[in-house]
Every structure is written in C-alpha cells, then in structure tokens.
Amino acid sequence: MIFYKELTPIVYSSVKDSGVLLTARYICDPRQKRDSEHKIWEDILQSVAASPDIDFAYPTHRFYDNFKEGKSAPRADEEQQKE
C-alpha cells in the first residue's frame, strides 16, 4: 500500500562511490512493470548514446607496477632505502 499524497513520477539522485545513482519512482500497472521499465531504459540509453559528454560510471581498480610501466620505485620505497 502507498500512503503518499503526491504520486507524480520523480527521479531521486544521490552520490555513490561509483558516481551518481538515479532512482525513479513512477506508478504503473503491476502487470506492465517489466515492459514499462524496459521502455524507460531504452529511452535513457538512446539519450546517453546521443550525448558524447555523458559516460556511465562503474567501480574500477587500478594496480600500479612501476617496473612494467618503466617508472622509478615509489617514493615510499625510496625513503625506506635511505634509512
């Protein structure tokens, strides 16, 4: 059961580790949920594809290997060698 007075569609935004999370609230027939969600995502993906300045954010990890990258030792290693 929903007890909100306003049932207009809305998009909430929040900041997460991997970027901005957008959460949509809209009312639809429960039997049409999958189809309506699909149509909304198709519209969003088409809009993003048409906007080259928008990128999807996703969690990433970067591992540094100074030797393979042809760089000198990390500063922490250099300081330990001086001691």
When divided into structural domains, the chain yields a total of: 1
Cα angle: 60, vertex 24, 18; to 5 degrees: 10
**5 within a domain of the structure (yes/no):** no
Structural domain of 36: 10-82
**2 within a domain of the structure (yes/no):** no
- Give the C-alpha separation, 36 to 33, whole Å: 5
**37 within a domain of the structure (yes/no):** yes
- pLDDT band at 29; cut points 50, 70, 90: very high
Average of per-residue pLDDT values in the chain? 84
Residue predicted with more confidence, 71 or 52: 52
Q: Residue 82: how many CB atoms within 10 A of its CB?
A: 5
Q: What does each C-alpha distance from 66 to 23, 37, 72, 74, 83 come to in angstroms? A: 40, 46, 6, 7, 21
**3 within a domain of the structure (yes/no):** no
Residue predicted with more confidence, 82 or 40: 40
